[in-house]
Chain A
Amino acid sequence: MNEFSLIRDIERYLEGEMNEQEKTAFEALRQSDPAVNEQVLAHQQLIKQLEYFGRRSALQEKMDKIHAGLANKHVSIAPSSTPEPKKVFSISRRLLINMAAAAGIALLTSVSTIALMQRASRQKTTAEYEDVRRVLNHIQRSQNALINDINSSKKAPANPGTYGGTGFAVSNNGYVVTNYHVIAGADSIYIQNTKGEAFKAASVFEDITADLAILKITDSTFKGQPLPYSLKPQRAMRGEQVFTLGYPRDEIVYGEGYISAQTGFNGDSAAYQVSIPVNPGNSGAPLMDNKGDVVGIVTGKQTTADGIAFAVKSAHLKRLLEQMPKDKLPKKEWNHKNNKLEGLSRVEQVKKLEEFVYMVKVYN
Chain B
Amino acid sequence: MKHNQNIERDRELLLGLTRNDDRALATIYTENYPSILRMVLQYNGSEDDAKDLFQEAMIVLYEKAQKGEFDLYSKLKTYLYAVCRHMWLKRLQTGSWQLALPDELEEVLPADDTNAIAEHEEKDQQFRIMEKAMGSMGEPCKTILEDYYVRKLSMQDIAEKFGYTNSENAKNQKYKCLMRLKKLFFEQYKS
Give every chain B residue within 8 A of A57 (Cβ-Cβ).
Answer: 146, 150
Closest Cβ–Cβ distance, residue B60 to chain A (whole Å)? 11
- Considering only residues 110-164 of chain B, those with a C-beta below 8 Å from chain A are 123, 126-127, 130-131, 134, 145-146, 149-152
- Considering only residues 154-191 of chain B, those with a C-beta below 8 Å from chain A are 171-172, 174-176, 178-179, 181-182, 185-186
When the two chains form their complex, are residues A63 and B29 in contact, meaning their CB atoms are under 8 A apart? yes
When the two chains form their complex, are residues B130 and A53 in contact, meaning their CB atoms are under 8 A apart? yes
Closest Cβ–Cβ distance, residue A48 to chain B (whole Å)? 9
**B26: CB under 8 A from chain A?**
yes
When the two chains form their complex, are residues A63 and B55 in contact, meaning their CB atoms are under 8 A apart? yes
Give every chain A residue within 8 A of B182 (Cβ-Cβ).
Answer: 7, 42-43, 46
- Considering only residues 1-43 of chain A, those with a C-beta below 8 Å from chain B are 3-4, 7-8, 11, 42-43
**A92: CB under 8 A from chain B?**
no
Interface size of B in residues (CB-CB distance below 8 Å): 42
Q: Quick one: closest A residue to B38, CB to CB? A: A77
When the two chains form their complex, are residues A63 and B25 in contact, meaning their CB atoms are under 8 A apart? yes
Closest Cβ–Cβ distance, residue A7 to chain B (whole Å)? 5
Most buried by A among B66, B131, B150, B151: B150
**B37: CB under 8 A from chain A?**
yes
Interface 0/1 of B8-27, CB less than 8 Å to A: 00000000000000100110
Give every chain A residue within 8 A of B126 (Cβ-Cβ).
Answer: 49, 52
Q: Quick one: closest B residue to A50, CB to CB? A: B149
Q: How far is the CA of A79 from the CA of B37 in the complex (A)?
A: 12
**A267: CB under 8 A from chain B?**
no
When the two chains form their complex, are residues B55 and A60 in contact, meaning their CB atoms are under 8 A apart? yes
A-B contact count (CB 8 A): 93
- Considering only residues 43-75 of chain B, those with a C-beta below 8 Å from chain A are 44, 46-47, 51, 55, 58-59, 62, 66
Q: How far is the CA of A42 from the CA of B181 in the complex (A)?
A: 12
**B33: CB under 8 A from chain A?**
yes
Give every chain B residue within 8 A of A208 (Cβ-Cβ).
Answer: none
Task: Indicate whether A53 sits within 8 Å of B127 (C-beta atoms), given known contacts A7-B175, A8-B175, A81-B46.
Answer: yes
Q: Quick one: closest B residue to A83, CB to CB? A: B44
Which of B44, B152, B172, B181 is within 8 Å of A8, CB to CB? B172
Closest Cβ–Cβ distance, residue B177 to chain A (whole Å)? 10
When the two chains form their complex, are residues A56 and B59 in contact, meaning their CB atoms are under 8 A apart? yes
Q: How far is the CA of A11 from the CA of B178 in the complex (A)?
A: 9
Which of A11, A53, A63 is within 8 Å of B175, CB to CB? A11
- Considering only residues 269-308 of chain A, those with a C-beta below 8 Å from chain B are none
Q: How far is the CA of A198 from the CA of B51 in the complex (A)?
A: 70
Q: Quick one: closest A residue to B134, CB to CB? A: A53
When the two chains form their complex, are residues A4 and B149 in contact, meaning their CB atoms are under 8 A apart? no
Closest Cβ–Cβ distance, residue A304 to chain B (whole Å)? 37
Give every chain B residue within 8 A of A4 (Cβ-Cβ).
Answer: 175-176, 179
**A51: CB under 8 A from chain B?**
yes
Interface 0/1 of A62-86, CB less than 8 Å to B: 1100110010000011110101000
User: What is the interface residue range for chain A against chain B?
Assistant: 20 to 34
**B30: CB under 8 A from chain A?**
yes
When the two chains form their complex, are residues B30 and A70 in contact, meaning their CB atoms are under 8 A apart? yes
Most buried by B among A4, A42, A63, A79: A63
**A253: CB under 8 A from chain B?**
no
Give every chain B residue within 8 A of A83 (Cβ-Cβ).
Answer: 44
**A115: CB under 8 A from chain B?**
no
Which of B146, B150, B181 is within 8 Å of A46, CB to CB? B181
15 residue pairs bridging A and B, Cβ less than 8 Å apart: A4-B176, A11-B175, A11-B178, A46-B181, A53-B134, A54-B150, A54-B151, A55-B62, A55-B66, A59-B25, A60-B59, A63-B55, A70-B29, A76-B47, A79-B41
Measured CB to CB, the residues of B under 8 A from A are: 22, 25-26, 29-30, 33-34, 37-38, 41, 44, 46-47, 51, 55, 58-59, 62, 66, 123, 126-127, 130-131, 134, 145-146, 149-152, 171-172, 174-176, 178-179, 181-182, 185-186
